[in-house]
Amino acid sequence: MAGNTGRTGARGFGLFEREAELAAAEEALDLLTGQEPRTPRLRLVREPEEPRIPRDPATPAAPGAHPPRGGVLAYAAPAGLGKTTLLAEIRRRAAAKGCTVLSARGGDQEQRVAFHVARQLLQPQLAAASRTELTERLGGWYDIVGPALGLCTAAEGSPPDPQGLRDGLDWVLTHLAVRRAPLVVVLDDAHWADPESLGWLSAFAPRAEDLPMLLVVAYRPDELPESGSEFTGRRSGQRPLGLEPLTPEAIAGLVRDRVGAHADDAFCQEIWTVTAGNPFEAVELAARVRDRGLEPTADRAHALRDLAAAVKGSGLIAQIEGFGTSTVRLAWACAVLGTEISPQLAGAVAGLGGEEVARCAERLRRARVLAPADPDAEPGRDTLEFVHPLIATAVYDAIPAATRVALHGQAAWCVVDAGLGSTTAARHLVETHPEGDPWVVQHLRAAAQETLRAGAPDTARRYLARALREPPDQDERAAVLFELGCASLLTEPATTVNHLRAALEEPIADAALRHGIVYRLSQVLAHSDRLVEASELLGRESRLTTDARSRLRMQSEKFMWDAFRADEPDSPARSRRLARLADRLTGRDLTERYIIGLRAWDATLRGEPSAVAVGHADRALTGGLSWADESRGFEVPVLSALTFLYADRPGRAEELFADGTAEFERQGWRGAHLSFAYTLLGYIRYRRGRLVEAEDFVRAGLRLAERVGPRTPCEWYAVGVMVEVLLARGRTDEAERVARAHDFGEPFPAAVTFPDSQTVYGELLLATGRTEAAAAELASVGRRLDPRGMRNPAWCPWLLHLALAEARDTPERARDTALEAVARARQYGAPSAIGQALRVTAEVSAEGERVKLLEESVDWLERSPAAYELARSLVALGGALRRTGRSTEAAEHLYRGLETAQDCGADGLVDDARAELAAAGLRPRTLHPTGTDTLTVRERAAAELTLRGEDPAAVLGLDQAAVTRLLSAVYRKLGTDPAGLAEALTGGRP
């Protein structure tokens, strides 16, 4: 309802008593443009500790210039105190200093239109570009932010999540700030900004300090939503500047500026009294004094109170009514339509012809209800604007309730008739009363679909909820409930469950719709840790469906959610059914490949030979598994990739995760999905012994998870992996702090996870000396997993940690526990699992048995890609040899262990290795970290000779120990074991 921000300054009321506020803006603009501030420092823009935007070295700095500094400048004041005029002056000064200015204004009506403010800010900078130019400028963000900004229609596929869209808008604004620097972004009436835009800008605001960008915001403090709290200074401590009512002296100056210098003091004092120093009301009152020809003298001051009544409230409405029915109808139509109103559209809503619209508009302009016509507007492009939001609000509130509803309905019809689309009409339709009109349902559903695909699920949900109240026809009701459930999925999963359950209770003639509801409901139940309900739903519906392929898909999804259930009643029986089904499938479609992928994961959990699991995973991937298929979920592609990881093929797993992560990013899924991807990429690096890289990836995943919310599954996984990585790096205290900060501990989720959260928690308890608690926790894991046949220590090494926890008080039991882990690892056959189990067995065995066990452990780990586990066994073997007096043999193992630990970033293990070397009377050698995955000439030669069945030692003239070390480096660099060497070496990897 507010006036056009580009025209406000031309009809402003001056800037009386706003010197301090303008000085703050002037200082901020000077800092932004790299000039020495001419005004005293008010510290409204935080000073960085060092320059953050480096000057191009090819461009010499101007004399006296300073590094540009961005920031946020906020003004908070009630209505009518001059925020808009102040911001117009700031825009003018910014343009005069050579700044690029982006400007937007919230609107009382438009706050229900998703991305209304974002479009005002960014669309003018991008709309003139062709599609080709836009795709070049926006790159991968084009399909994500384009629909939200009205630059293109949404592409096929799943919509971006809200966080992904915010990241895209961040990129666009950052790109503009860098390319068009210095940049000034001005948002007026932020309290009326749409939630999507306000939430984005509020989250972006701290970045302004690091960019050549000044973000200027004005709002009414009592009306600012919580999503705009960043502008209140709550985080930064930088309080917004307030605007006070004008003093009598300023009001006198304002009045004399408009009615003449002869206005006497008593007259000016009376204007100040009746307006309480409100500059908007004073300007309007002075204008009416001038229009009426009222002499500004003391003896005429008594007329001011009656005249002031016409400025606002009932007096203003009475004045408009005095112009006649047609003028009233036009004013009402404008109030309903909002801002930037086309005269043609206003006339259609008001039921007036073009000439009548022009006459009525002129009356309203003369009465200072509508703003003067823009003299610079192109012919036929002029718009109708209210002089001030206060007037627009007064007019809107004065419309009788029934008439207002009818006008919104008329506006919706006119908007659609004018070709402005369902989304533009939807904000009017939500204001109408339900009447069972199919046309209303049709356009609300279309608007919801468009809005959802643009990345605004909350707005889509509001449209669909209104469509449901219309109500839709009986045969359409289930579809609307389904769409409503999908729109609520990311923000209100519990509500989604209710909507989808209600949809299933409706009569549904379309089998595909019913199946879609079932799939989505099972997903949201499972993701809400309600796995039993998800499984029961799929089981019940699979018995009801008559379509064989749909039944197969329901069975596949039931298999998946049952695999995650910690309380599944008969897991072995389910595994047998899954094996029988998967072994006869060919993988001809996605459903069959999902079942085969689940078979691969089940084989991994049960500890079947790793070659069996990998074979099924390869079958599942033949033909492709999409990570970003919203109707399927990403669980099976993830499980298939993890199958390779636990089978000592982390290089293959990492390739799959890299592809999946790229798919998430292209789709704009930058919330929970991308958090999982980064976390598990970090977990893969952890398993390969690349601990520094692992920590970086997991921290990125944890940052994304924290944006999703506390104790969500993605945060749970990220914290668990972070704890493991920090423990491996020797930073036990930090691991404990991370766990405590994120409430990582009991109660654990109902799902069996990867890595198993309870096992990680037990490992943390053990590392921090709480041995008894660790033993109890880890034994509980065994009681949960063993009855289900989940016996693979490569996936969940609870037995290994339990053996270490038992070693102090029950050493014999500890050894038996460790030997059971060795037996299970040998059954699975992954070298890293066998080597790790043998090392733990050595730790809990008698001193005389340790060397032999550790030598075998090293031998197995030499054939694996697990660098960190190899380093641990090398250091342990070197220490055991030293303690038996075999210092010469110990030295080589300790040196290798030290160097490998250094490469891994295992700082704690490095310290242990140095201590062992010192105890042996040896000085550490100068370390030469590899720092690359590229195979050396000898490493590649040894690998190729091994694949051809030739003896590398004989051909290369090396002893067997040197060949073993070469091949060990090959396995670590390629991320494979001997069984996968051929594929890794010839499949495009180094």
Give me the phi and psi of 276, to 5 degrees please.
55, 30
Per the structure block, which two tokens stand in for 656? 């799959």
- Number of other residues whose CB lies within 10 A of the CB of residue 379: 5
Element (H, E) at 610: helix 610-621
Q: Which of 510, 501, 500, 443 is nearest to 476 (CA)?
A: 510
DSSP designation for 551: H
Q: Which of 305, 256, 247 is nearest to 283 (CA)?
A: 256
3-state secondary structure 335-392: HHHCCCECHHHHHHHHCCCHHHHHHHHHHHHHCCCECCCCCCCCCCCCCECECCHHHH
Q: Quick one: pLDDT at residue 182?
A: 94
**587, 619 in Cβ contact below 8 A?**
yes
Q: Quick one: pLDDT at residue 55?
A: 38
**735, 704 in Cβ contact below 8 A?**
no
599-652 tens-digit pLDDT: 999 999 999 999 999 999 999 999 888 888 878 888 899 999 999 999 999 999
In a 13 Å sphere around the CA of 119, the CA atoms on its Cβ side amount to: 16
Q: Quick one: pLDDT at residue 65?
A: 54
Number of residues written out for the chain: 990
Q: Quick one: pLDDT at residue 6?
A: 38
Q: Where are the alpha helices (DSSP H) in 830-987?
A: 831-843, 847-861, 867-883, 887-904, 907-919, 937-947, 952-956, 960-974, 981-986
Give me the phi and psi of 185, to 5 degrees please.
-110, 120
How far is 198 from 202, CA to CA, in rounded Å?
Answer: 6
- Could you say which residues of the chain have pLDDT below 50? 1-13, 40-64, 988-990
Tell me the chain's radius of gyration from C-alpha atoms. Answer: 35
Query: What CA dihedral angle connects 588, 592, 596 and 599, to 10 degrees?
Result: -160
How far is 365 from 472, CA to CA, in rounded Å?
Answer: 43
Element (H, E) at 656: helix 650-667
Q: Quick one: pLDDT at residue 990?
A: 39
By the 10 Å C-beta count (0-12 exposed, 13-18 middle, 19+ buried), 826 is classed as middle
Q: Quick one: pLDDT at residue 41?
A: 44
**904, 898 in Cβ contact below 8 A?**
no
Give me the phi and psi of 389, to 5 degrees please.
-55, -30
168-208 tens-digit pLDDT: 999 999 999 999 999 999 999 999 999 999 999 999 999 99
